[in-house]
Amino acid sequence: MKILVPLKRVPDPDTKIRVNADGSGLETDGVKFAINPFDAIALEEALRLRDQVGAAEILVVSIGSADCQEQLRAGLAMGADRAMLVKHDAATDSLAVAKVLAAIYRREQPQLVLMGKQAIDDDANQTGQMLAALLGIGQATFISKLAVAADGSKATCCRETDAGLETVTVALPAIITADLRLNEPRYVTALGIMKAKKKPLEETTPAELGVSAASRTRVLKLTSAPKRKAGIRVKTVDELLQKLREEARVI
């Protein structure tokens, strides 16, 4: 079995995010980067799956600048077998990334693509879905439980939806995107980190894969979220209802 796990480099969730002076992007000075947490969950699930089925090859992929090597090495340290960096310094968007991933999929022919449901930087939540559409294969998104059939023909997934839990079966190969409660990623071991240095990390480009990673969308401006204003106190329920109706206009 071969499992493809895309890893996105994003600002560490614990780091303080600052928009740069002209609003064109984020300040990167003093900002730590990490594997997108949902992608780390996807990778953890792939590692557990490998332990279950006995043998599987896990390929981690990142699309971006040379800095993404850090996250790929971290993925290898967690236990992935090999890594691929698709070097692309300019901005991308979900569709561009999905196209690059589709090209990798065609080359590598994995039985499963496990990825985060969304990245915590742009929260787009569409790359997995787009990838499934481009490849014309099945998808199961926001999953919190995964069971792969012994013969590798299908996967049973528990999905977290607004209405509750939904269990679906999807024929493999398929795109499966991980939600928060799927698992808790392991700590990397010191030995794992040292071993990762010797694992293969292949570098390629969108051109070599025969696709364009050019973005169709453009970020016009980033602004910091406005500071939360102080709340007000109301004396009666009636006053509350009136404010909700007339000022907040939510009922």
Residue written as token pair 């996807």: 42
Residue 33 CB, shortest distance to another protein, in Å, is: 11
Residues sharing a CB contact under 8 Å with residue 67, sequence separation 6 or more, in sequence order: 9, 33
Residue 73 CB, shortest distance to another protein, in Å, is: 5
Which of positions 26-65 make contact with another protein (CB under 8 A)?
Answer: 29-32
- Helices (DSSP H) in the chain: which residue ranges? 37-53, 69-78, 94-108, 127-135, 190-196, 237-246
Residue 212 CB, shortest distance to another protein, in Å, is: 30
Residue written as token pair 């490998």: 50
Which of positions 172-231 make contact with another protein (CB under 8 A)?
Answer: 187-194, 196-197
Nearer to another protein, 11 or 206 (CB): 11
Q: Which of 123, 126, 63 is nearest to 91 (CA)?
A: 63
| Candidate ranges 13-21, 120-128, 133-141, 235-243; the one touching another protein (CB under 8 A) | 13-21
Q: Does 22 bind another protein (CB under 8 A)?
A: no
Strand boundaries in 54-180, DSSP class E: 57-64, 82-87, 112-116, 138-148, 154-161, 164-171, 174-178
Residue 15 CB, shortest distance to another protein, in Å, is: 7
Q: What angle do CA 3, 7, 12 make, to 5 degrees?
A: 145
**Number of neighbours of residue 16 by Cβ within 10 angstroms:** 10
Nearer to another protein, 7 or 155 (CB): 7
The only residue of 77, 95, 135, 148 in contact with another protein, by rule CB under 8 A:
77
**Number of neighbours of residue 29 by Cβ within 10 angstroms:** 7
| Candidate ranges 15-23, 85-93, 218-226, 237-245; the one touching another protein (CB under 8 A) | 15-23
Q: Does 163 bind another protein (CB under 8 A)?
A: no
Nearer to another protein, 70 or 121 (CB): 70
d(C-alpha 222, C-alpha 247), whole Å: 28
Residue 27 CB, shortest distance to another protein, in Å, is: 8
Show the tokens assigned to 218: 């453009």
Q: Does 15 bind another protein (CB under 8 A)?
A: yes
Beta bridge partners of 140: 176
Residue 36 CB, shortest distance to another protein, in Å, is: 15
Residue 196 CB, shortest distance to another protein, in Å, is: 8
Q: Is the peptide bond before 226 cis (omega within 30 degrees of 0)?
A: no
Binding site for another protein (CB under 8 A): 15-16, 18, 29-32, 69-70, 73-74, 77, 187-194, 196-197
